[in-house]
Amino acid sequence: MKLGAPSLPPQLPYSDLVYMTNRGFLAKKLGQYVGLHSDEGAALFYHSFSQPSFADYNQENQYDYLLYLSEQMLKWNKLKYNIALQVKKMDVNPDIQNALLKAYEIYKTDLFADSYEAAIQENKVKTDQQMDMKWVIYRDVIYAATQEKFLLISEEEAKACRQGNVFCEGTIKSRADIPACRNLAKESLEAEKIGSTNIMTWILVLSEAITNTIKHAEEGKMTLIKDEKNHEIRFIIEDNGPGFSLEDLPRTTLLAGFSTKKSLGQGFTLMMKMSKRVLLYTSSKGSTIILTFDISEKKEGELNATG
């Protein structure tokens, strides 16, 4: 659908202009998250200025529907409702629901400050000391329950995992970057003389981590590091998303297929099964997933297999 920029009413109040701009921006982001082309996103943004409200939207028109959803979220913010809870109550397509939750998490302090601040007051945010104690308990329990395959780490520990030689890097901004990063990693691993069977397995795990980045964050980065000293290769996948809920991590990591973020649970299960260990640093500003692979054992096995 091609839509040009509409003409604005000559006496449009400033407050209405700001509202339509926010509504259009939010709808554009929702469109991006559900797979609309960038040109369609731009047209969707301008379509926000075509009418005051999309409450009586045309169900056959995707632009109208996304603008209606944006309108609802902005309305909930004004009423100081718990937006995440309202979204979870909606009977909508899972991709739409995920897009709404993602938009809220990323823009909760910019577009939804009233709702977010009300939620903070309602929940009486825990002190840093309480959160630190809770984090340590979750880390130890999950680590033991996964037979030392999954470990929550601190920001400093995540930085320490960068020791070694970086032999591959890639950026993740859209779904098109998934196969691009996958192929780049494959070529780089081949250059490192990693066997084809191991490459196939490792790339499968990498795809899970990269897909998670696109699904739940604006953008991310892939870094492959070879650490000769510790005889391992590490895949580091970073994103700028809202982070993982500490309360959901036990179920996310221990129950195959469980996820509050559509399909992520199965992803962690696969990552733990196919890698030496999975490390996770997460905060409200983003997450870093680190997948480690033991190259000393892998290479020795490959040499024996080839005689």
For Cα atoms 172, 174, 175, give the angle at the middle one, nearest 5 degrees.
105
**pLDDT category of residue 255 using cuts at 50, 70 and 90:** low
| Cβ burial, residue 195 (10 Å; 0-12/13-18/19+) | middle
Give the pLDDT confidence of 132-151 residue by residue, as tens digits.
788 889 899 999 999 999 99
DSSP conformational letter for 262: S
What is the model's pTM?
0.65
Give the pLDDT confidence of 178-222 residue by residue, as tens digits.
999 999 999 999 999 999 999 999 999 999 899 888 877 888 999
Angstrom distance (rounded) from CA 41 to CA 259: 29
Q: Give, in order, the Cα–Cα distances in Å from 158 to each of 47, 56, 135, 153, 198.
A: 43, 49, 16, 7, 24
Tokens found for residue 110: 């910019």
Q: Set out the domains of the chain in order of their start, with CATH numbers.
A: 14-121 (no CATH), 128-306 (3.30.565.10)
Is-contact 272 264, C-beta < 8 A?
no
Angstrom distance (rounded) from CA 294 to CA 286: 27
Q: Is the pLDDT of residue 173 over 80?
A: yes
| Cβ burial, residue 199 (10 Å; 0-12/13-18/19+) | middle
Angstrom distance (rounded) from CA 60 to CA 250: 41
**pLDDT category of residue 261 using cuts at 50, 70 and 90:** very low
pLDDT at position 264: 45
Give the pLDDT confidence of 99-115 residue by residue, as tens digits.
999 999 999 989 999 88
